């Protein structure tokens, strides 16, 4: 499958920011882990990151025009207030998208418990660190197999 992995604002600072929550692995290490696990499963993996909402929306639109089979997105804090990213995921006319969070957002501050973007996705995975991206890829495989 052709899979686009999108990371949102501040995810590039993983390994530096709030290590007690996000751990000490660098963003680059996490990206190479995702790439190698994804390729091991036979997928074509594109890794993208932006701190800008509009750029993330451009990536999501590209996933449609460039005929991706699935998207995995960690929208960072945009999760909690971006209706524009919600609409962009919905507007992808049928490209299954899985939301991932490194931390368990449901066990943190109240504002993190709400996701404006998850309802546009086929599901959400939170709390399993970088393994969450691989679980999301597996969810896309299952989704494609069932052809829902």
Q: Is 112 in the site for ligand DQA (CB under 6 A)?
A: yes
Burial class of residue 120 (count of CB atoms within 10 Å of its CB; 0-12, 13-18, 19+): buried
- Respond yes or no: is residue 101 known to be catalytic: yes
Task: Check if the beta carbon of residue 61 is closer than 8 Å to that of residue 72.
Answer: no
Spot the catalytic one: 43, 68, 86, 101.
101
- Judged by CB under 6 A, which of 74, 82, 92, 124 binds ligand DQA? 74
Q: Which stretch binds ligand DQA (CB under 6 A): 27-35, 43-51, 70-78, 84-92?
A: 70-78
135 marked among binding-site residues: no
Looking up tokens 């451009």, which residue turns up? 58
For the chain, the first-to-last Cα distance in angstroms comes to: 16
Rounded to whole angstroms, the Cα distance separating 24 from 101 reads 16
Q: Which stretch binds ligand DQA (CB under 6 A): 48-56, 73-81, 82-90, 134-142?
A: 73-81
86 marked among binding-site residues: no
Q: In degrees to the nearest 10, what's the CA dihedral of 5, 10, 14, 16?
A: 160
Please state the closest distance from residue 65 (CB atom) to ligand DQA, in A.
26
CA gyration radius for the chain? 14
Cross-strand bridge partners of residue 71: 4, 97
- Judged by CB under 6 A, which of 15, 23, 51, 103 binds ligand DQA? 103
Site residues (CB under 6 A) for ligand DQA?
A: 10, 74, 76-77, 79, 101-103, 105, 112
Residues annotated in the binding site, as ranges?
74, 80, 87, 102-103, 112
Annotated binding residues for substrate, as ranges?
74, 80, 87, 102-103, 112
Residues with catalytic roles: 22, 101
């Amino acid at each position: 499958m052709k899979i686009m992995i999108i990371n949102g604002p501040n995810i590039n600072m993983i390994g530096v920011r709030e290590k007690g929550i996000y751990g000490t692995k660098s963003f680059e290490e996490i990206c190479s882990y995702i790439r190698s696990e994804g390729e091991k499963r036979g997928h074509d993996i594109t890794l993208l990151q932006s701190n800008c909402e509009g750029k993330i929306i451009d990536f999501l639109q590209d996933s449609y025009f460039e005929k991706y089979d699935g998207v995995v997105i960690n929208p960072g804090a945009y999760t909690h207030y971006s209706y524009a990213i919600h609409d962009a995921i919905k507007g992808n006319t049928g490209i299954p998208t899985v939301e991932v969070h490194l931390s368990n957002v449901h066990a943190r501050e109240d504002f993190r418990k709400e996701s404006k973007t998850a309802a546009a996705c086929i599901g959400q995975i939170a709390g399993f660190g970088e393994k969450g991206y691989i679980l999301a890829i597996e969810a896309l495989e299952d989704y494609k197999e069932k052809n829902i």
